[in-house]
Amino acid sequence: MKTKEDFVKEIIAAGFPENEVVIGIDDFFCNENFMEGCIGVNIYPDPPAPEKFYEVFKELLTSNKADTILVRISDIDDPKEWFYSDTVYVIGSLTLEDLNNAIEILRPDEVDEVINGIHFKIQDLESGQKIYSMWWD
């Protein structure tokens, strides 16, 4: 089982903060780490709990609506707290409308298809796959 220190070493080795670094949802929410403030902190009123984010993301994967979900690391400054993210990437063949319907409860500020501008390595996209970004201010 990886510790926060293990993840920090990997994230730093990947070039954070100069480079955009992403990790999978199982790593971001590893060991049921649902620390308040790790994602969606500026949703007002009544932000969804981190558990709800994980539940919605896992449902996208298990229903085969998404193939991969990656969480962008935005901040790792506080050694007592888990990482913070304001952006999640969804890779799959679903439509933007399908994605918006599936994540409505998470209330992102923006959901867009990423045409260019991905600054991290991903697998080659298969025919019909798209990359979407979800962002919370």
Query: What pLDDT digit, counting tens, does each position of 48-71 carry?
Result: 999 999 999 999 999 999 999 999
Q: What is the pTM of this model?
A: 0.91
Q: Which two tokens stand for residue 5?
A: 């220190």
pLDDT number for residue 36: 85
End-to-end alpha carbon distance in the chain: 31
pLDDT number for residue 121: 66
H helix intervals, the chain:
4-13, 25-28, 50-62, 96-103
Amino acid making up residue 61: L
The answer on pLDDT for 132 being more than 90 is yes
Return the sign of the alpha-carbon dihedral for residues 15, 27, 84, 41: positive
The answer on pLDDT for 19 being more than 70 is yes
The answer on pLDDT for 80 being more than 80 is no
More confident residue, 119 or 65: 65
Residue 117: pLDDT band (50, 70, 90) is low
| Average pLDDT of the residues in 24-51 | 89
Largest CA-CA distance found in the chain, in angstroms, rounded: 42
Question: pLDDT tens digits for 100-114?
Answer: 999 999 999 999 999
